[in-house]
A and B are shown apart, each in its own frame.
Chain A
Amino acid sequence: NAGVTQTPKFQVLKTGQSMTLQCAQDMNHEYMSWYRQDPGMGLRLIHYSVGAGITDQGEVPNGYNVSRSTTEDFPLRLLSAAPSQTSVYFCASRRGGGLRHGEQYFGPGTRLTVT
């Protein structure tokens, strides 16, 4: 199993550009999520999904869109990048949502810089 994979590893965007961060998992996990990590602020949840076709907002959803058309993939879209979106982005997955399924597996991250 590759686990949780993210592409690209690094990306530089200009303000106003759009892009999609890719996330895939091969563990047949129902729950997937996106976080951003900024210095001194820990990880903050952007969006999450408890299954294909179901998405919900996390703590900091503004400026980001998600969709979940398959169990395996959970892409994160930046429609119009802003310098405030410069961050390291992590995708994670769990066997399921709710409290029954403990461990969340994180991908290696995407470092995004918006100039």
Chain B
Amino acid sequence: GENVEQHPSTLSVQEGDSAVIKCTYSDSASNYFPWYKQELGKGPQLIIDIRSNVGEKKDQRIAVTLNKTAKHFSLHITETQPEDSAVYFCAASITGNQFYFGTGTSLTVIP
């Protein structure tokens, strides 16, 4: 099956700085890549997603880039705020029925 690796496992940034989380995937057939934010004690929540026919997608302070040739995709958060502190997960899917998740990045935004 698909293997998704995520780095770094922990990330601390000063408020207002940017944060970047990177994921790689193993199966070139993967074509849907969602990102989730999980706050303590809650279930993950989708924050942005990208499909393989798109190289970049933005939503306000959040952006995702996809490099199909290198099989990696990244989450970019600009102008970070304390409420961005959470665990972030990347995922990949081939069919849209089975999702393979990365191991998560714990982001801390220091006020």
Contacts and interface: CB of A to CB of B under 8 A. Distances in A.
Given A48-B98, A98-B96, A108 B49 contact: no
Nearest to A101: B96
Interface stretch (A13-21, A37-45, A68-76, A78-86): A37-45
User: How big is chain A's contact interface, by range?
Assistant: 20 to 34
B98 A43 contact: no
A106 B43 contact: yes
A31 to B, nearest CB: 7
Of the candidates A42, A44, A107, the one having the most CB atoms from chain B within 10 angstroms of its own CB is A42
Top 8 A-B pairs, shortest CB-CB distance: A106-B43, A99-B96, A42-B101, A43-B101, A98-B96, A42-B103, A103-B46, A97-B97
A109 B43 contact: yes
Contacts of B89: 42-43
A102 B101 contact: no
Given A31-B97, A50-B97, A98-B96, A43 B42 contact: no
Nearest to B2: A59
A48 B96 CA distance: 11
Contact of A104 (B1, B42, B99, B103): B99
A92 B97 CA distance: 12
Interface string B74-89: 0000000000000001
Contacts of B45: 106
